[in-house]
Structure 1
Amino acid sequence: MKVRDECKSWFMEMKWKRVHRYIVFKIDEGSKAVIVDKVGGPGEGYHHLAGVAGRTTTAEYAVLDLRISVHAYRNWPQEQDRCFISWSPTKSRIRAKILYATSKQGLRRVLDGVHYEVQATDPTEMGYDVITERAK
């Protein structure tokens, strides 16, 4: 599966300029490529992304730029952490699940700077507590 250049450019903008809080990627089956579907602005965060993912029955990928304190017990300042989310709801078509599972590593190679990954089939598997626990 081909990953379009726009995927890397949006990610690099999120990584270096920190103006986007999340990016949702999808596979365009017509062109057989991974493309950018949605971009979350500075005022949108985890809860907006979770609401979007919770309403869809199609598989997607997302990268979330989340401020969490990994070393909270030492009162260290918060850090930016980027989490890759592979969303494949149980109600998705089997063909889509297979397509997304086999295409994930190609996209991950392009997204240099993702700190950890979460795979979810329902919204509880990508809950805020699950994501922050994975970061520790």
Structure 2
Amino acid sequence: MANAASGMAVHDECKLKFLELKAKRTYRFIVYKIEEKQKQVIVEKLEGVPKSRIFFIAWSPDTSRVRNKMIYASSKDRFRRELDGIQVELQATDPTEMGLDVIKSRAN
């Protein structure tokens, strides 16, 4: 069972889709989300446009509840360890921290 210290479990599809992205660059992005009812991280959305750099953007708004921030932080760390091959990592608490200008500057 997941808790704030250990983080959520990671669904096998998350790793599978990441490996496809890493090996074949088949997706423009993968959106993962924490599914609290299932107590795991799942794939929420895929877009099929090939790209060459792999970004990991962790979105945790400042307005989130403290408990949710704790679960998110521990789940992010656990989940991030499952994904070998990420080239750029961003932590965003505000939309401006993950804008196109920020992404372009980190991609170079």
Residue 96 of structure 1: how far off its partner (Å): 1.6
Give the aligned residue type for 2:95: P
Counterparts of residues 8-23 of structure 1 (less than 5 Å):
8-23=15-30
Identity of aligned residues (%): 55
- Normalized per residue, the structure richer in strand is 1
Give CA deviations for 1:49-76 in whole Å, capped at 9, x if unaligned. Answer: xxxxxxxxxxxxxxxx75xxxxxxxxxx
Residue 129 of structure 1: how far off its partner (Å): 1.9
TM-score normalised by L of structure 2: 0.82
Residue 16 of structure 1: how far off its partner (Å): 1.8
Counterparts of residues 1-136 of structure 1 (less than 5 Å):
1-42=8-49, 66=51, 80-136=52-108
What is the CA–CA distance in structure 2 between the aligned matches of 1:131 and 1:8, rounded to whole Å? 23
What is the CA–CA distance in structure 2 between the aligned matches of 1:29 and 1:132, rounded to whole Å? 32
TM-score normalised by L of structure 1: 0.67
Give CA deviations for 1:57-98 in whole Å, capped at 9, x if unaligned. Answer: xxxxxxxx75xxxxxxxxxxxxx2111000012232332221
1:70 corresponds in structure 2 to none
C-alpha RMSD of the superposition: 1.7
Higher RCO (C-alpha 8 Å, min separation 6): 2
Which range moves more in the overlay, 119-128 or 93-102?
Answer: 93-102
5+ long unaligned stretches in structure 1: 43-64, 67-79
Instruction: Give the length in aligned residue pairs.
Output: 101
